[in-house]
């Protein structure tokens, strides 16, 4: 049976058993043979392929140093490598990288072949493994521009997003529904908005504030429905008579409008890398093409060519 690599976490803050197990598992998979075991080299019996000591620096475990002495090395010298991670790199990934580095250094010192495919020791020699693509879902409320000269619209939104943390690029799909903030934005008029959007942008963290800033541009398609209800009026040309309160009003009159446009937005996500985060944003939209509904009301309500919207909600990390 092949001899193992003995790994000792020598100093620094206390390390949870889960993190230590991640380090040993990554090292064993890459090293093959006898794998890697955790323990004090001075108290380890039997044959040993190499001794590795992992030193931790700081309560955030951001800097690690790996010292490896391979017993099969011709010179038997101690070799070291220092790793420094980004603040947003998860702790499990940092310890997984340390384990892969131990295996790669032990193999190099002993003149053994490189670790098997998938371990990627060349990359881990200088940097942490890339973080996986993140998938997110969010929902919340909104308030923004309504009809020209009318009250604001209020409603809700949902959004799905995918983020590549290596490049900062992300994509979005969203939908929102809103209604006029008051029951009658124009005399006898009720208005609803339905908007669909899709696009993408760039995301960058502000590390001191633990905030992720996202800037995005989206193509949007909007549908608006207006319903007007007028009081019934007498058709007799004779002098007007008092209206019968019991007489039902005329059926509702409706009109629809659709439009295509573009939307630019800036979102703030806090905490930046949490499973559940608050999301607030400001959006500006511009209608490029569409139709305007017409109803027989004075003054005639009109849809604006552009406007602004504020959003606030919650985002969940799905993967």
For position 150, what pLDDT does the model report? 75
Which tens digits make up the pLDDT trace of 164-219?
A: 888 889 999 999 999 887 755 555 677 889 999 999 999 998 888 889 999 999 99
For position 230, what pLDDT does the model report? 52
For position 128, what pLDDT does the model report? 46
For position 133, what pLDDT does the model report? 82
Cα dihedral value 94, 100, 105, 106, nearest 10: 130
Say which CATH topology domain 134-317 has. Answer: Porin (2.40.160)
Instruction: Mark the ranges of the chain whose per-residue pLDDT is less than 70.
Output: 1-2, 10-16, 40-46, 58-60, 70-77, 109-131, 183-188, 228-252, 293-301
Angstrom CA distances, 178 to 121, 130, 288, 293, stand at 53, 40, 20, 17
Which tens digits make up the pLDDT trace of 43-54?
A: 555 677 788 888
Contacts of residue 199, defined as CB under 8 A and 6 or more positions apart, other chains included, come to 171, 172, 216, 217, 218, 219, 263
For position 93, what pLDDT does the model report? 84
For position 296, what pLDDT does the model report? 59
**Structure-block tokens of residue 27:** 């090292």
For position 309, what pLDDT does the model report? 93
The closest of 95, 112, 142, 88 to 283, measured between CA atoms, is 142
């Amino acid at each position: 049976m092949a001899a193992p690599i003995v790994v000792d976490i020598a100093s620094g803050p206390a390390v949870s058993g889960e993190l230590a197990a991640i380090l040993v598992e990554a090292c064993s998979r890459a090293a093959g043979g006898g794998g890697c075991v955790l323990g004090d080299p001075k108290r380890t019996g039997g044959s040993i392929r190499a001794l590795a000591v992992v030193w931790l620096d700081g309560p955030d475990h951001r800097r690690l140093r790996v010292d490896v002495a391979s017993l099969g090395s011709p010179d038997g010298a101690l070799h070291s490598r220092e790793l420094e991670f980004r603040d947003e790199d998860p702790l499990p990934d940092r310890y997984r990288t340390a384990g892969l580095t131990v295996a790669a250094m032990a193999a190099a010192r002993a003149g053994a072949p490189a670790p098997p495919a998938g371990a990627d020791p060349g990359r881990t020699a200088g940097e942490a493994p890339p973080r996986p693509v993140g998938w997110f879902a969010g929902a919340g409320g909104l308030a923004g521009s309504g009809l020209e000269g009318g009250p604001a619209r209020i409603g809700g939104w949902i959004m799905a997003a995918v983020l590549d943390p290596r490049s900062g690029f992300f994509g979005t799909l969203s939908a929102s529904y809103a209604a006029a903030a008051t029951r009658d934005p124009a005399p006898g008029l009720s208005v609803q908005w339905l908007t669909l959007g899709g696009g993408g942008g760039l995301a960058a963290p502000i590390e001191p504030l633990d905030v992720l800033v996202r800037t995005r541009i989206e193509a949007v398609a909007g549908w608006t429905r207006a319903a007007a209800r007028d009081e019934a009026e007498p058709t007799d040309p004779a002098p007007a008579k008092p209206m019968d309160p019991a007489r039902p009003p005329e059926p509702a009159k409706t009109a629809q409008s659709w439009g295509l446009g573009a939307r630019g937005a800036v979102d703030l996500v806090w905490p930046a890398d949490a499973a559940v985060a608050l999301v607030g944003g400001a959006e500006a939209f511009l209608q490029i093409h569409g139709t305007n509904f017409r109803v027989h009301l004075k003054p005639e309500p009109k849809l604006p060519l552009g406007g602004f919207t504020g959003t606030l909600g919650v985002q969940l990390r799905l993967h």
